[in-house]
Amino acid sequence: MHEFDWSSIPNALPFLWDGMKISLEITLSAVVFGIVWGTLLALMRLSSVTPLSWFAAAYVNLFRAIPLVMVLLWFFLIVPHLLESLFGFPRGSDMRLSSAIAGFALFEAAYYSEIIRAGIQSVPKGQMGAASALGMTYGQAMRLVVLPQAFRNMVPLLLTQGIILFQDTSLVYVSALADFFGAAYKVGDRDGRLVELLLFAGAVYFVICFTASRIVRHYQNKLKTA
């Protein structure tokens, strides 16, 4: 039987907090960029311009058909070399965080795109017709009438995808980046208390994600009764 010893956790908290900040930074950056790029992809997917629609469909299908860990590994290996060659970054610069954010953002944009596309299609077509009758262009109608209604309906799904993204940040171990999970693993391995640190990390992930899920559920119920 394993003899549990939790005494190393208090001293590890500063290091774990540094890891948590990296996890949150990746999550927030990827959510913001993913929603922005995902919105553009959704609009291109719904566009009557065939090349734009084909490009968006190919992008979404590509990123949804490959594992996230593979995308992160590609960006970890490729992005530093591109930045060094295109922008003259010093050779050997630590690009792990930038590579992870780029990989997550571009990957998640494919999923956000499908959520946003479904949200746009859920808005009654009469809304676009009414906006056109008022003299609005397609862009104005989409920006001022359709998208606000669509995003209001999509908020629970967007937040849920953000929770999944936060959980997936643990995959940055492929680049040896010390996110929260990576920090817990390193401390546990160093102190010989790997089981305790991983159990503690799992408990923290559960508390954060369960709490966020309950908040999303509460907001979703408020939308239904509004």
Give 48-74 pLDDT, tens digit per residue: 889 999 999 999 999 999 999 888 888
- Least confident span in 101-110, 120-129, 150-159, 205-214: 120-129
pLDDT at 222: 80
User: Which domain does 100 fall in, by range?
Assistant: 9-225
Residue 47 lies in a domain: yes
pLDDT at 90: 63
Q: Tell me: pLDDT of 137 over 70.
A: yes
Q: Tell me: pLDDT of 84 over 70.
A: no
Task: Count the alpha carbons within 13 Å of 58 in the hemisphere toward its beta carbon.
Answer: 6
DSSP the chain: ------THHHHHHHHHHHHHHHHHHHHHHHHHHHHHHHHHHHHHHT-S-HHHHHHHHHHHHHHHSS-HHHHHHHHHHHHHHHHHHHH-PPTT---HHHHHHHHHHHHHHHHHHHHHHHHHHHS-HHHHHHHHHTT--HHHHIIIIIHHHHHHHHHHHHHHHHHHHHHHGGGGGGGT---HHHHHHHHHHHHT-HHHHHHHHHHHHHHHHHHHHHHHHHHHHHHHH-
Q: Tell me: pLDDT of 91 over 80.
A: no
Residue 85 lies in a domain: yes
Distances (CA, A) of 64 to 103, 111, 158: 13, 7, 17
Residue 155 lies in a domain: yes
Residue 4 lies in a domain: no
Q: How confident is the model at residue 205 (pLDDT cuts 50, 70, 90)?
A: very high
Asked whether 201 and 180 are in contact (CB, 8 A), the reply is: yes
Residue 83 lies in a domain: yes
What length is written for the chain? Answer: 226
Cα(97)–Cα(101) distance, integer angstroms: 6
Residue 109 lies in a domain: yes
Q: Tell me: pLDDT of 160 over 70.
A: yes
Task: Count the alpha carbons within 13 Å of 88 in the hemisphere toward its beta carbon.
Answer: 0
- CATH of residue 120's domain is 1.10.3720.10
Number of domains composing the chain = 1
- Least confident span in 20-29, 32-41, 132-141, 148-157: 132-141
Residue 2 lies in a domain: no
Residue 43 lies in a domain: yes
Q: Tell me: pLDDT of 89 over 90.
A: no
Q: What is the average pLDDT value for the chain, to the nearest integer?
A: 86
